[in-house]
Amino acid sequence: MGVKGMLFVIVALVLVEVEVEVVAIDDIDSTQIALHGCQRNCGDVQIPYPFGIGKTENGTTCFLDKPFNLTCNSSSSSLTSGNVQVININISQGQADMLIFVSKYCYNSSYGNNAVSSQPSGLISSSSFTISSKDNKFISVGCDTYGYLNSFYNNNAGYSTGCLTRCYGNTKEIKDGDCSGIGCCEVDIPPKMRSVSTQAGTFFNFQDSLVFNNCSYSFVVKNGNYTFKKAHLGKLLHETFPVVFNWSVGNETCKESQNRGTNICKGNSICMDAESGYGYRCQCQKGFEGNPYLHNCTDIDECETGQHSCASKHNCRNEIGFHGCFCPNGQSGNGSTIEGCHKKNLLPQIVIGASAGFIAIFVGTSLLYLTHQKRKFIKLKEKFFKQNGGLLLLQQLSSREESSHTIQIFTAKELKKATNNYDENLIIGRGGFGTVFKGVLENNTIVAIKKSRIVDADQVDQFIHEVIVLSQVNHRNVVKLLGCCLETEVPLLVYEFVRNGTLFDFIHNENKRNHFNWENRLRIATETVGALSYLHSSASIPIVHRDVKSTNILLDEDYTAKVSDFGASKFVPLNQNTLATVVQGTFGYLDPEYMQTCQLTEKSDVYSFGVVLAELLTGKKPLMFEKSEEKTNLAMYLTSCLEEDRLFEALQVGILNEENKQEIVEVAIVAAKCLRLKGEERPSMKEVAMELEGIRLMSKSHWVNNADKNFEEIQHLLPVSSSSEKYEHGDSSSGSHQNTKYDSIIRDQEVLIALPSGR
C-alpha cells in the first residue's frame, strides 16, 4: 500500500471516529431535560427546561423566562415557585402540579358575632400560568358558607365564580362523600383564569352550628384529590391541596413567534397556541418523545417500550414516528392479534398472479392497439391535410403576412367540440355545396361551420386560393370567413354567425314578411348589390359568386344584408372577361346565356341578382311549376308585366303605397335591365349599385315629373313592346289591388345543376 493509500485509511478512520462521537453526543443530548450545567431535579421532582434554578457557572440562566425560575430548598428538598410548592412538571402536556393553600374563615367566640377571618389565599399571579378548568374543581366546605374564586388582570378583577351552602342547623342531610350543596359545594372552573385567588366567607349563623362547624373553607383541588367527610365541618385537616396549572411560554401566538423568529419549538415537534390566549407551548409529534423546548424530539421505539398495538414484540416493526404489525415469515394475516397470523394459502396468490398477468397482457395489448389507432388517426389527419391543400395554404399564408392575422386554421377536434359532434339539431342550412352547422368555439364565439362536399383533387389549388382571397375580403355586407379546417376528409369553413336567417325566409314566410316593408327591401337590395359590386370591381382578383340567390343573402340582428356561400365562386383573371366552366348554379337564378355557352362572366351574377330583385318586388319564387305557364318563370313574368303595363298587379301585397310607386317602378326597370337575355346588354354590377343607391336617395316628388321618361325607358329596355299600350301607374295600381290574389308558395323547385361545357 502506498503513501496515498495510508493517508486515505487514516482520514477515513478519523471521520468514522468523529461521526461516532457526534452520534454519541446526540444520544446524550436527546436524553437531557435541562440545560447543560443546570440542576435537573429537586428531591423527587424533575426540573425540565424551560423551568430551571438559578444560573450556570458561566452565568447562563437555567430557565427561559422569569415565571419559570424555581427555588429548591435543600433541607426539605422541596421545589417552589415563589411561595407555592411545585410537586410535578409535565413537559408533554404543558402542565404543572402545585400545592395551594386553603382559604378559611373562622368564628371566634370571644368576639361574639364578630368573626375573625384569615387572609384570602393567593394562588399564582404569573400570566404564563392558567388554572386548568378540566383538571380541577373549586370547593367550599361548611354550613352557612360561601366561597369565591377570583381572576385578576392587570391588578383589576376580571371575573369570579364560586358556590354557597346553607344548613339552618339541619345536619341529617349531610353525608360523607356528598358535595352537592349541603355542607359542601363544588363548581367547575371557567377557562382562561389566571392570576387567581380564593376567598371563604360566612352568613354569621354560627350560633346554631358551633357544635359542629365554626369555620368555612374554600379551595381549588385537582380532580380526585379530595373526598368530603362530615367531620370536615368541624375541622379540615388539609392546609394545602394539589392544583393543576397549564403553562405556556412567550407572550405571542405560534404564528407571531414564527414570523418574528422567536419560536423555540425544536424539530419533530408542533407548536400549539395556549388555551388561555397567552403564549404557546411545544409538543413532540406522535411517535416522538423528548423535551421539544431543548432539543429535537426523538423517535419512540414502540416495539421496545411496549407502546405498540401488535400481538407481541416479535410482531412489531419500528418505523420513524410510528410502528407496524406483521406476521412472521411463512404466515399471513393480521399481526395485531395472536390468532391473526396463519399459514399462507398460496392459491389466492396464484389466482391473483394469474389475474394480474392476464390483466397486464390485456392492458398491454390494448395500449398497443390504441397507440396504433392513434398513429393511424394522426396519419389520416396528415393525409387529409395534404389532400385538402394544407401545405399550399401554409405556404400562401407565410408569403402573405397580412393573411396570417385574418384567417385561422382550426383543428378537427376544436370544430367537433364546437358542434357537439356535428349534432343534426345544430344544422342551420343545407345547400348544393355543403351543410352549415351552428357552433360555439372555446372562447364562446358563435360561428357558422360549413361542412363542404368532397373536393376534387384537381380543384385543391382553386379552393386554397379561394380561402386566401376570401380571408382578405373585408366588406360589411359579405359574411366574413374566419378560418378553415383541413384535417377531415372534406374541408370545413368557419364563418361569422349571422343571426336572423336568409332573405328567402323574410320574402316567403308570412309571419316574417308582415314586418318586411318596401324600405327594408330596397335597403337590403342596395347592400347586396354593393357587396357584389365590391367582389366584381374592388377585390384584388375579381370574384364571380356564381350562385346569387335569396337563400345566400343572410340578415344579421340589425337586418343588414350579408352575402354568403362562396362554394361555387370563381376568380376571373384581370386580363379575361369570360371563363369557360362547367355550369353550376340554381335553376330560376341561372343566366340563360351562361347555360347555353358555358362561358361565365360577371354579367351572370347580374342576371341572378335581377331575379332576387324580382323576388323582392313580387314575393314569388323564381320557378313556380304549379302556376300558369306565364308565371312559371319569375324573370319572364316580371318582364311581361312591365311590357303589358301590369307591374302593380305583380307586386307582393302590402309593399305598395302612394309614396313609393316611383321607386318601385324604377327598381323594376333596374331588374328588367339585369334580366336581359344577352349579357352584353346588361349593366355591370357597379352600375346597378349606383342606380339602386340613387333610387334610395330619390325624392318622391320626381314621380309625376318623370312619368313620361319612365314609360320611354320601359319601352326601350323591353325586348317586346306595344305602341298601342301605355304605362299609366294610376289605373294599373287600381287593377292590381282588385284582381290579384297571392296564395302561399306551394313548391320550390330549386335544382343545382352541373352541365358539361357545350351542352
Q: Which residues are annotated as a binding site for ATP?
A: 451
Side-chain-side CA neighbours of residue 236 (13 Å): 26
Residue 630: Cβ within 10 Å count: 10
Question: What is 256-278 written as a DSSP string?
Answer: HHHHHT-----TTEEEEE-TTSS
Residues 6+ apart with CB under 8 A from 454: 489, 490
The backbone torsions φ and ψ at residue 266, rounded to the nearest 5 degrees and listed phi first, read: -90, -175
Residue 144: left if φ>0, alpha if ψ -120 to 50, beta else—which one? left
b (16+ CB within 10 A) / e for 111-133 = eeeebebeebbbbbebbbbbbbb
Residue tagged active-site, from 97, 135, 299, 547:
547
Report which residue type is found at 626: E
* CA distances, 233 to each of 137, 201, 238, 424, 674 (Å): 19, 14, 12, 96, 127
- Report whether 635 contacts 615 (CB < 8 A): no
Residue 489: Cβ within 10 Å count: 12
* CA distances, 265 to each of 31, 67, 707 (Å): 17, 18, 107
Give the integer Cα–Cα distance in Å for 186 and 198. 13
Residue 662: Cβ within 10 Å count: 21
Helix (H) or strand (E) holding 162: strand 156-165
Q: 145-153 and 156-165: which strand pairing?
A: antiparallel
Rg (alpha carbons) of the chain, rounded to whole number: 53
Residues 6+ apart with CB under 8 A from 643: 714, 718, 720, 721, 722
Give the integer Cα–Cα distance in Å for 147 and 37. 45
Q: Does 547 qualify as catalytic in the annotation?
A: yes
* CA distances, 485 to each of 464, 492, 493, 704 (Å): 11, 5, 7, 57
The catalytic site residues sit at: 547
